[in-house]
Amino acid sequence: MASNALRSLSRAVDACRQCELWERATQAVIGEGPVPARIILVGEQPGDQEDRAGRPFVGPAGRVLDRALQAAGIDRETAFVTNIVRHFRWRPSPDGKRRLHDRPNARQVRACRPWLLEELELVQPEVTVLMGATAAQGVLGSDVHVTRDRGRPMASETGSTILITVHPSAILRVRDRTEREAAFQALVADLTIARRLLETADRPARPSPRATDDRVSSRR
């Protein structure tokens, strides 16, 4: 039943023409994982490898995510992993040999957001982890700032506790080794908070104003 729902969602997303990103992508990439799942992790958009494989977080950022989940005590197999944008936005490298990541713009994120709402409806997560600014602002609005708001559980009227953290690819961009390790440990610390939320069902008492955004709650 759930896998049927995911299969038909996948077909619908692949046929989506609400923005132009489909034109240069290999395929749409929808979320992957159990349905329902207690936790959903939301990234930005498929990268080069995800675009080819048709699966989320299977490239370098996915490997960082796998390590961070493991260190935080979360089994990736129990999580639903997805993105807010479903087609790879890219530009050619100067020598034309590689496809370089290009951040999706606000219009493209808006066009794609209904697919995330459909996944949330299917997955019914208790905890929603938004990884990076594109996912966080795409769900909660532009006044969210990852560095300020990360690691702070927010109740939402949907019933899912929202937690913001950095995108795993941000770790890969840190040049200095010591700083990179510190950034990785900070990601692990945020994911550990997510794991504890699942263990203790310890929810904030009141919805924060930001998390009551009707774009999030419109799914119920």
Min dist. Cβ of residue 85 to ligand URA (A): 8
What are the tokens at 94? 């100067």
Of 82, 89, 70, nearest to 188 by C-alpha is: 70
Q: Does 44 bind ligand URA (CB under 6 A)?
A: yes
Q: Does 104 bind ligand URA (CB under 6 A)?
A: no
Q: From CA 84, how far away is CA 138, in angstroms rounded?
A: 7
Q: Does 40 bind ligand URA (CB under 6 A)?
A: no
Burial category of 130 from C-beta neighbours within 10 Å (exposed 0-12, middle 13-18, buried 19 and up) = buried
Residue appearing with tokens 């992508």 = 25
Comparison of 52 and 203: residue with beta carbon closer to ligand URA: 52
Q: Does 125 bind ligand URA (CB under 6 A)?
A: no
164: β partners = 130
Per-residue x/- track, 145-184, ligand URA (CB under 6 A)? ------------------------x---------------
Residue 120 is given by DSSP the state H
Of 24, 12, 217, nearest to 112 by C-alpha is: 12
Q: Which stretch binds ligand URA (CB under 6 A): 4-12, 50-58, 120-128, 142-150?
A: 50-58
Q: Which of 22, 31, 41, 45 binds ligand URA (CB under 6 A)?
A: 45
Which residues contact ligand URA by CB under 6 A? Answer: 43-47, 50, 56-57, 59, 61-62, 83, 169
